[in-house]
């Protein structure tokens, strides 16, 4: 354990070189620990990237080499030949986009109802809604499976993207509601006096003021359905319908190079699946972090 020196960041940097130097030296052990941890978090990733650029011959040698002899970027094309990865990618994209739209639209409207309208039983319903946060999908999965079987939704992507249109989940509703509550009601009232109806107020007054929470929820929704494995595993059957998460396990079963090592292709496929998440993180980091912090503090 590193000794926590919490007051350090707030101390204004001293003007005298000596003090500053002493402070800097004191940070060296901390910095080393930070560095070691960064290696623990980053190394597995680096290792996967390096592996993905090797040829089969380089995989099973001990001691392993770090750098590939010649980076095989073609591995990233080969994976698409080994399995219908492009199709899986497309399926995932479809599910992710349709889930995202449905979840955000319905959760924000439901949250609007809870935040801005008075109706009998509102508080109880809100508590009931929150309590479903504690309801893990495993409890309801069997009857849901039977329901989808009856509806003829099994082995169809709609089994994944239609349910989010019904409320979008307690977490999303909660997040939107908390945000809407921070917007002064005077804005609504002003629009109402001008003769606007509630839907107009939602789309023209509240939504423009709530862009951050919409972006945040978009990120969470994207991650949720992009990474979801349980749903596709249970509802999908045919290879052509697989999403990327499920398709990756399929890929791992079928990938074959005539007895040679296939780990480099496995790593390439895993990285391909990770890239969209990475992209979203790089582009929207600020909203992402705000969202997590918001859910943590207000929860």
Overall size of the chain counted in residues: 299
Asked if residue 191 lies in contact with residue 204, where contact means CB atoms within 8 angstroms, the answer is yes
Q: Does residue 253 belong to the site contacting other proteins (CB under 8 A)?
A: yes
Region for residue 121 given its phi and psi (left: phi exceeds 0; alpha: psi -120 to 50; beta: otherwise): left
Least Å distance, CB 298 to other proteins, is 7
Interface positions, 128-187, toward other proteins (CB under 8 A): 128-130, 132, 134-136, 138-147, 163, 165-168, 173
Asked if residue 89 lies in contact with residue 274, where contact means CB atoms within 8 angstroms, the answer is no
Least Å distance, CB 35 to other proteins, is 8
Interface positions, 46-85, toward other proteins (CB under 8 A): 47-48, 51, 59-64
Task: Break the chain down into helix, strand, coil percent, rounded to 5.
Answer: 75, 0, 25
Task: Report the residue number, 209 or 284, with the smaller CB distance to other proteins.
Answer: 284
CA atoms in the 13 A half-sphere facing the CB of 181: 10
Rounded distance between C-alpha atoms, residue 101 and residue 9, angstroms: 42
Number of residues that bind other proteins (CB under 8 A): 100
Interface positions, 19-38, toward other proteins (CB under 8 A): 27, 30-31, 33-34, 37-38
Query: Contact with other proteins (CB under 8 A): which of 9, 17, 208, 259?
Result: 9
Least Å distance, CB 44 to other proteins, is 6
Interface positions, 209-238, toward other proteins (CB under 8 A): 223, 226-227, 229-230, 233-234
Rounded distance between C-alpha atoms, residue 58 and residue 67, angstroms: 10
- Which tokens sit at 24? 């800097």
Cα-only R_g, the chain: 25
DSSP reduced 3-state for 154:
coil
Question: Per CB under 8 A, which region of 69-77, 183-191, 206-214, 284-292 contacts other proteins?
Answer: 284-292
Least Å distance, CB 73 to other proteins, is 19
Interface positions, 90-109, toward other proteins (CB under 8 A): 106, 109
- Which tokens sit at 94? 């479809």
Question: Per CB under 8 A, which region of 71-79, 183-191, 203-211, 277-285 contacts other proteins?
Answer: 277-285
């Amino acid at each position: 354990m590193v000794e926590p020196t919490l007051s350090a960041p707030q101390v204004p940097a001293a003007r005298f070189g000596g003090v500053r130097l002493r402070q800097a030296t004191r940070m060296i052990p901390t910095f080393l620990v930070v560095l070691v941890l960064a290696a623990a978090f980053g190394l597995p990733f680096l290792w996967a990237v390096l592996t993905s650029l090797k040829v089969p011959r380089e995989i099973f040698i001990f001691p392993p080499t770090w750098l590939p002899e010649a980076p095989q970027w073609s591995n990233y094309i080969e994976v698409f030949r080994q399995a219908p990865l492009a199709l899986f990618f497309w399926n995932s994209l479809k599910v992710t986009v349709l889930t995202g739209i449905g979840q955000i639209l319905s959760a924000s409207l439901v949250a609007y109802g809870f935040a801005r309208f008075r109706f009998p039983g509102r508080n109880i319903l809100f508590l009931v809604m929150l309590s479903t946060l504690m309801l893990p999908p495993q409890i309801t999965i069997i009857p849901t499976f039977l329901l989808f079987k009856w509806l003829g939704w099994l082995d169809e992507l709609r089994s994944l993207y239609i349910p989010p249109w019904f409320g979008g989940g307690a977490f999303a509703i909660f997040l939107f509601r908390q945000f809407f509550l921070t917007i002064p009601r005077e804005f609504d009232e002003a629009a109402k006096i001008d003769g606007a109806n509630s839907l107009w107020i939602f789309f023209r007054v509240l939504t423009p003021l709530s862009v951050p929470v919409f972006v945040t929820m978009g990120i969470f929704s994207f991650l949720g359905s992009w990474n979801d494995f349980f749903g596709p595993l249970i509802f999908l059957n045919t290879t052509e319908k697989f999403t990327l998460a499920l398709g990756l396990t399929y890929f791992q079963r079928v990938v074959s190079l005539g007895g040679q090592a296939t780990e480099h292709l496995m790593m390439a496929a895993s990285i391909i699946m990770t890239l969209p998440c990475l992209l979203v993180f790089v582009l929207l980091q600020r909203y992402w972090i705000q969202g997590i912090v918001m859910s943590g503090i207000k929860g």
